[in-house]
Chain A
Amino acid sequence: MSRSPHLDAHPRLTRQGVGAALRRFGLIWLALIALLFVSCFLAYVPLGRWNLPVGVVIAVIKAGLVVAFFMGLEKATSLNRLAASAGIVFLLVMFTLTFSDLFTRL
């Protein structure tokens, strides 16, 4: 099977495509690794009860980068965005109902 004639006719186009993908996703990868080190470092800084929330917020940012760029939700159709947000919405419902009960009894 040969490559599509379109790309064979334009080898530069393919090379540019690879370069663009490497730059785009490489940058996200660097950001993810940087956030990993920041989150590890901050765990050793005494912030009292704020250590865990800080770690979780950094995790949310990292997950957001993966979802938006690696999983391409940033460019996805609205149907796929709806499917993706369904999971988050029902997760939030579960957390909200459970913890609104827990916090009234503490």
Chain B
Amino acid sequence: MTQADYVIREPWEHISDQRRASTFGMWVFLASEVLFFGGLFMCFTYLRVLHPAAFAEASSHTNIWYGTINTGLLLTSSFTMVMAARLADLELRRLMALCLVATVALGLAFLVVKGFEYREDFDRHLVPGRDFAIPVAAAQLFFSLYWAITGLHAIHLTIGIVAVSRLAFLVERRELALPSPEFEITALYWHIVDIVWIFLYPLLYLGGRS
């Protein structure tokens, strides 16, 4: 079996056509992701305009250490991911596999930190409901969105971790050739998950600090 056989899929005959089509398809999907998270961000902004004081108060109850460390982890993982995609272009298998593993490790580290943060949030009664810690009604709106958006983000990140692990596995077993467009489009997905967090950081963690 030649390299081209297990890179090119139906209905394409040339790798360049397949690359163009998959990149375009991924951008269309990412545009739909922008609107998916955008609706939640709009909901957040709308409520923030209606209840500025309660949102600032609620925001100051989030843990800025966890939030900042996690932002740093994700930004760094985007760097290792873009390096992996570039190294695939240069056909440097070993180095690229290393970058993929680093990306997975950073993604997992993010989820571990988030897990500690969620446990602390539970302990401090920051889950909307009867025992809610902050005695301002609209603060519960902030934390409803906090749980919904960070939860959805964590699901997206988990999918990203699975996708990147799959690439690392296939590369290690030499079942995926480096010219495959899969590296580039997986990287694109990874970056959009990072971008969602870039916007979550000031909205959820930086309010009510000054």
Contacts and interface: CB of A to CB of B under 8 A. Distances in A.
A85 to B, nearest CB: 8
Interface in A31-51: 32-33, 36, 39-40, 43-47, 49, 51
A77 B90 CA distance: 21
A58 B202 contact: yes
Given A18-B95, A94-B39, A70 B82 contact: yes
B75 A36 contact: yes
B209 A83 contact: no
Interface string B198-210: 1101110111011
B182 interface: no
B100 to A, nearest CB: 15
Contacts of A44: 209-210
A7 B48 CA distance: 55
A52 B49 contact: no
Interface string A64-99: 001101110000110110011011101100110011
A39 to B, nearest CB: 6
Interface string A51-66: 1100110110011001
Given A1-B174, A44-B209, A66 B78 contact: yes
Given A36-B68, A91-B34, A94-B38, A43 B79 contact: no
Contacts of B49: 99, 102, 106
Most buried by A among B28, B39, B87: B28
Interface residues of B, number: 58
A94 to B, nearest CB: 6
B72 A51 contact: no
B3 A18 contact: no
B3 A95 contact: no
Interface string B177-210: 1000000000110011011001101110111011
Contact of B30 (A45, A62, A84, A99): A84
Interface string B123-156: 0000000000000000000000000000000000
Given A29-B76, A90-B35, A18 B90 contact: yes
B112 interface: no
B165 interface: no
B187 to A, nearest CB: 8
Nearest to B196: A63
B116 interface: no
A33 B201 contact: no
B46 interface: yes
Given A67-B191, A76-B23, A80-B23, 5 more contacts: A25-B83, A33-B72, A43-B64, A51-B210, A106-B49
